[in-house]
Amino acid sequence: MKIHEYQSKELLKLFGIPTPESIVTENKISLLNAFKEFGSRAVLKVQVHAGGRGKSGGVKLVENSKDVNDFADKFFGKYFKTIQTGNDSVLINKILVEEVSNILSEMYLALLVDGSHQSINIIVSPEGGTDIEEVASKNPEKILNFPVNTILGPTDFQIREILDFLSLDIKSFSKLKNIIQGLYKLYLEKDCSLIEINPLIVDNRHELIALDAKISFDEDALYKHEDILDLRDINQENEIEIQTAELGIKYVQLKGSVGCIVNGAGLAMATMDVIQSSGLKPANFLDIGGGADEEKISKAMSAVLSDVNVKIVLVNLFGGILRCDVASRGFIMALDKYQSSAPKLIIRMQGTNSEEGKDILNATNYNISFAENLDQISKILMDKE
Ligand code: GDP
Ligand code: MN
């Protein structure tokens, strides 16, 4: 689950990490009033669950009420796109007014889980303020990425290494230590999946300040954190993801053209790999789980079909508790709503009642190719499009 920048900064403050003074506003009047509190200059920042706002005009230094007024008219209640929102646009309901920082340098600092090291990793770069993916591809030597020892936490030695890598003055050591230890504590206590400070700045008073902040949380741990759940802004989330979550279907929206319906997370991952290695891109991750009934399967298929980017639907089912004939009937329920506009289907069914399931689908007029294994799926995919 993601939260807004202003909420992330409130959490950072609770954990002793310096952030600029700011006021969050929900309409033009409160925005104008908040601006007055900062005197004659402030930075206005649209609040959406996506980065890249600066490049799309959503972060602006303003120096008079007219600029503030124009910014409010341009963004409040409007939809906004950045490189990170992809094809979707997101609604702007809040604008943050922030004191202007005088920046000497911008750096990148993030914490995330590294599955292969079974650790939380710290990632830093002196190239802050820009897209970290771009730094990673063009100047990988400008990124330092290392695991934190689970028992020791971030050590003084590691913090010293970060200090040097960022070319910070030794006088900043205790400030950097305070920030890194605070972030690590926040990460553990609130079960985060990502904390990204981009940029972390050195200002003209030589203070280290988190100028932007993005925090995501581990969905499976949210039940422990009511305070975090309260921060959820459903307006910013993908509609299909919300609907499927209510049904207990794991669905993650992606940007490709091949919709996937799979049971079991492992099989779902393998299926996405096959799509990728066939030169196509998955439109979603979807795990319908074990004991799905006809209704739930129909909803899963409907969710995939409602994604306008889907050109092919790939079904990869292993019938255990789930019966393939039940699945087929569920699919048809959803497909019948689309009739001739239904996309091509590739179906692999194994296990309980798989023959019956295939017969049911074969008796329809939908454009279906059947596959027996991942290899065949790949071959069919490579013939398509
Ligand atoms: P993002 O584009 O969504 O990542 O939004 P950020 O909050 O990171 O802002 C983008 C960029 O705007 C930053 O990297 C800074 O260069 C600039 N910026 C934001 N706030 C200030 C500020 O107070 N002073 C100055 N000089 N630049 C700022
Ligand atoms: Mn940023």
Residue 247 parent element (H or E): none
pLDDT at residue number 117 = 86
> Which residue among 59, 104, 109 is best mutated to probe the pocket of ligand 1, counting the most ligand atoms within 8 A of its Cβ?
59
User: What's the start-to-end Cα distance of the chain, in Å?
Assistant: 34
- pLDDT per position as a tens digit, 130-177: 889 999 999 999 999 999 999 999 999 999 999 999 999 999 999 999
What percent helix, strand, coil does the chain show, rounded to 5? 40, 25, 35
pLDDT at residue number 248 = 87
Please indicate whether residue 147, judged by its CB atom, sits closer than 6 Å to ligand 1. no
79 catalytic? Reply is: no
pLDDT at residue number 384 = 54
Residue with tokens 């932007």: 212
- pLDDT per position as a tens digit, 170-225: 999 999 999 999 999 999 999 999 999 999 999 999 999 999 999 999 988 999 99
Which residue, by CA, sits nearest to atom 8 of ligand 1?
Answer: 212
**Poorest-pLDDT segment among 196-205, 242-251, 329-338, 355-364:** 242-251
pLDDT at residue number 302 = 94
Q: List, in order of start, the domains of the chain with CATH numbers.
A: 21-98 (3.30.1490.20), 103-229 (3.30.470.20), 239-384 (3.40.50.261)
3-state secondary structure of 74: helix
Does residue 352 surpass a pLDDT of 70? yes
Structure tokens at 144: 């330092």
pLDDT at residue number 105 = 97
pLDDT at residue number 339 = 87
Please indicate whether residue 59, judged by its CB atom, sits closer than 6 Å to ligand 1. yes
Please indicate whether residue 105, judged by its CB atom, sits closer than 6 Å to ligand 1. no
CB 80 within 8 A of CB 92: yes
The CA distances from residue 10 to 19, 180, 228, 270, in Å, are 9, 16, 12, 39
Task: Say what percent of the chain tops pLDDT 70.
Answer: 99
Does residue 290 surpass a pLDDT of 80? no
CA of 111 to the centre of ligand 2 (A): 15
- Which entry of 5, 98, 106, 196 is annotated as an active-site residue? 196
Q: How many residues does the chain have?
A: 385
Cα separation, 62 vs 71, whole angstroms: 9
CA of 241 to the centre of ligand 2 (A): 25
Does residue 385 surpass a pLDDT of 50? no
- pLDDT per position as a tens digit, 295-338: 999 999 999 999 989 999 999 999 888 899 999 999 999 999 99
pLDDT at residue number 320 = 87
- 304 sits in the region (left: phi over 0; alpha: psi -120 to 50; else beta) called alpha
196 catalytic? Reply is: yes
Paired sense of beta strands 258-262 and 59-62, if any: unpaired
Please indicate whether residue 130, judged by its CB atom, sits closer than 6 Å to ligand 1. no
Mean pLDDT of 96-122: 96
Structure tokens at 152: 């020791």
pLDDT at residue number 116 = 87
Query: Quick one: which ligand is closest to 109's CA?
Result: 2
Q: pTM of the prediction?
A: 0.81
CA of 189 to the centre of ligand 2 (A): 24
> Which residue among 103, 106, 134 is best mutated to probe the pocket of ligand 1, counting the most ligand atoms within 8 A of its Cβ?
103
CA of 81 to the centre of ligand 2 (A): 15
Helices 156-165, 173-189: axis angle to 10 degrees equals 120
CA of 92 to the centre of ligand 2 (A): 17
Please indicate whether residue 153, judged by its CB atom, sits closer than 6 Å to ligand 1. no
pLDDT at residue number 190 = 98
pLDDT at residue number 104 = 97
Atom from ligand 1 closest to the CA of residue 50: 3
Cα separation, 328 vs 351, whole angstroms: 13
Cα separation, 111 vs 130, whole angstroms: 17
Cα separation, 232 vs 219, whole angstroms: 11
pLDDT at residue number 86 = 66
Q: Which residue from 157, 165, 197, 159 is spatially nearest to 180, judged by alpha carbons?
A: 159
Please indicate whether residue 127, judged by its CB atom, sits closer than 6 Å to ligand 1. no
pLDDT at residue number 19 = 98
Indicate the average pLDDT of the chain: 94
Does residue 227 surpass a pLDDT of 50? yes
